[in-house]
Amino acid sequence: MTFHSSPLTVLIVEPFEAVRAMISKVLNEIGNINIIQSSSGNDALEKLAYNDVGLIIGEWQLSGLSGIEFLTQVRTTPRTAKIPFLMMSSTIEQAHVVSAIQCGVSEFVVKPFSSKQLKARIQRALNRPVREFQGDSTQITAPAQEEQIQLLIVDDVADNIKVISDILRRDYKVRAALNGKKALQICACEPQPDIVLLDIMMPEMDGLEVCRRLKADPNTQHITVIFLTALEQTEHVVKGLSLGAVDYITKPANPAIVKSRVQAHCRGIESNRLMRAQIDTMLENARLRDEFDNLNQNELVKPISHIQHSCELLSTHLHQPEKAKRYLADIKHSCTQLQLHLDGVAALSKIERNDYKLNPQSHSLQCVVDDVLASLASTLKQQQLSVHTSIDTGLEFIGELTLTHTLLSHLITNALEASKNRPSINVNASQSDEHVVITIHNSDTVPTQVTEQFFEKFVSFGKPGRLGMGTYIAKLLVEAQNGTVAFRTDDNLGTEVYVHLPVGN
């Protein structure tokens, strides 16, 4: 993530100077960023009034004006309403997350976090459309994520490592290092350990120095450190806790104590992971609802506008039967498109909830494609785009008219939007075994940045204002009809999307 033109101004709103310094260090690694710091919500509002800010990173718990009140002020002020807002918090409840989503938060990051996690959240906040302030709430649930805890045991005595790893390896993924330098290298690489069991007394670099370096580096300061220490090393333990360690275990290791101490800290790590997963899911669900709303509004505008225009023309040509019939036909066609869209939205909502009952029938594929192209006619004409079709008139598929119309609309529109080299696409169909195979071809390749996530939510590249839902929706609608969808792309071929639907009678 690099900014090449004018610097991005970032406002950090965080009461603790050390945290502000850590965030500033991460931002400076990104490059070309102007940083403004504030310790309270009220002070941040004053700074917003006199600076053009491109991103806000704000803490939930602020003195005076709270984080949620500050976010509300940002979103309800026209000048700042479109600024991406990344919220931070160490203690946050699901109800708070829902409230922040309603107020238009862009992203969440739960403390403690690594620089990599912060950078990822910053990138998402900047790349996705800013959400508007909303009033109503909807109960949102999030699935739990299970991921094995990673432990790193650091001790210069191999026998000590074996004793502790034998105690823990059945429940955790365990790695080992015989010196501090190797431990730091492991902690700097993915996958990072969640907990480091760190011997205090080691040659060259002792455990205290390892802990100090871990906690001084934004990339590793989130890692939990538990010291391994002899009974007489009380003074060193106190120093280690002041450096950021959370606990200590005395040697020789007692298996029950080792297990219980590690397990206690794992509960906090797992709780933190669960909250992150819940936040990500809630934000994704909120973005999904926003996109459905946007799609709904955009698709409603076209037929309504056509109906209004045709009604105006009809009113001035009531005494000219031929023209009047044409305008009435246009109105009827627009009403049909409107009903198809509304039916498609209702079906899509049920499919997302796994609550859709398929009612398949045999339909003419050519008729469906013709209807889709008719609904896109004004767009094709306005943007000087063309679609060439080659479909056998007798080719039929088994499925639902509404679902197939909607999925083909999305795939054809997506292909047209991606056609930069040649403003045309081809739609062909043939029968293969027990399936109708629909091929949609355009001459441009899919950007490498999105090939792995082509059919996922919110995947878009080079299409400003588009959130990338078309192929995701199409995949849902194809699979709901017992079909499949795939694509291939290369420099010589361009891109071909293949839809397989059960063949009709």
Pairing of strands 494-502, 484-490: antiparallel
Q: How confident is the model at residue 292 (pLDDT cuts 50, 70, 90)?
A: low
Whole-model pTM: value is: 0.44
Q: Is residue 374 part of a domain?
A: yes
Indicate whether 450 and 375 sit together in one domain.
Answer: yes
Q: How far is CA 47 from the centre of its chain?
A: 30
**Residue 352 vs residues 286, 400, 456, 473, 476: alpha-carbon distances, Å:** 14, 17, 14, 10, 8
Indicate whether 114 and 168 sit together in one domain.
Answer: no
Task: Decide which of 421 and 438 is more confident.
Answer: 438
pLDDT at 419: 79
| Boundary of a domain, candidates 138, 160, 184 | 138
Indicate whether 25 and 90 sit together in one domain.
Answer: yes
Give the residue-averaged pLDDT of 223-227: 92
What digits encode the pLDDT tens for the residues 235-291? 888 888 888 888 888 888 889 889 888 988 888 887 777 677 767 766 766 666 666
| Boundary of a domain, candidates 104, 138, 172 | 138
Task: Decide which of 472 and 138 is more confident.
Answer: 472
Indicate whether 386 and 406 sit together in one domain.
Answer: yes
Indicate whether 134 and 217 sit together in one domain.
Answer: no
Q: How confident is the model at residue 112 (pLDDT cuts 50, 70, 90)?
A: confident
Q: Is residue 43 part of a domain?
A: yes
Expressed as residue numbers, the domain containing 451 is 358-502
**Residue 493 vs residues 171, 200, 259, 441, 488: alpha-carbon distances, Å:** 50, 61, 58, 9, 9
Task: Please state which of the ranges 221-235, 316-330, 360-374, 445-459 shows the lowest mean pLDDT.
Answer: 445-459
Indicate whether 62 and 188 sit together in one domain.
Answer: no
pLDDT at 144: 42
- Any idea what the CATH number is for the domain that residue 65 is in? 3.40.50.2300
pLDDT at 124: 86
What digits encode the pLDDT tens for the residues 144-153? 445 788 999 9
Query: Which residues 6+ apart lie within 8 Å of 235 measured at CB?
Result: none
Give the residue-averaged pLDDT of 346-355: 74
Indicate whether 179 and 215 sit together in one domain.
Answer: yes
Give the residue-averaged pLDDT of 60-67: 85
Give the residue-averaged pLDDT of 72-81: 91
Judged on CB neighbours under 10 Å (0-12, 13-18, 19+), 384 is exposed
Q: Is residue 418 part of a domain?
A: yes
Q: Is the pLDDT of residue 298 over 80?
A: no
Task: Decide which of 358 and 456 is more confident.
Answer: 358
Pick from 274, 152, 155: nearest CA to 224: 152
Q: What whole-number percentage of the chain has pLDDT above 70?
A: 85
Indicate whether 121 and 196 sit together in one domain.
Answer: no
Q: Is the pLDDT of residue 484 over 90?
A: yes
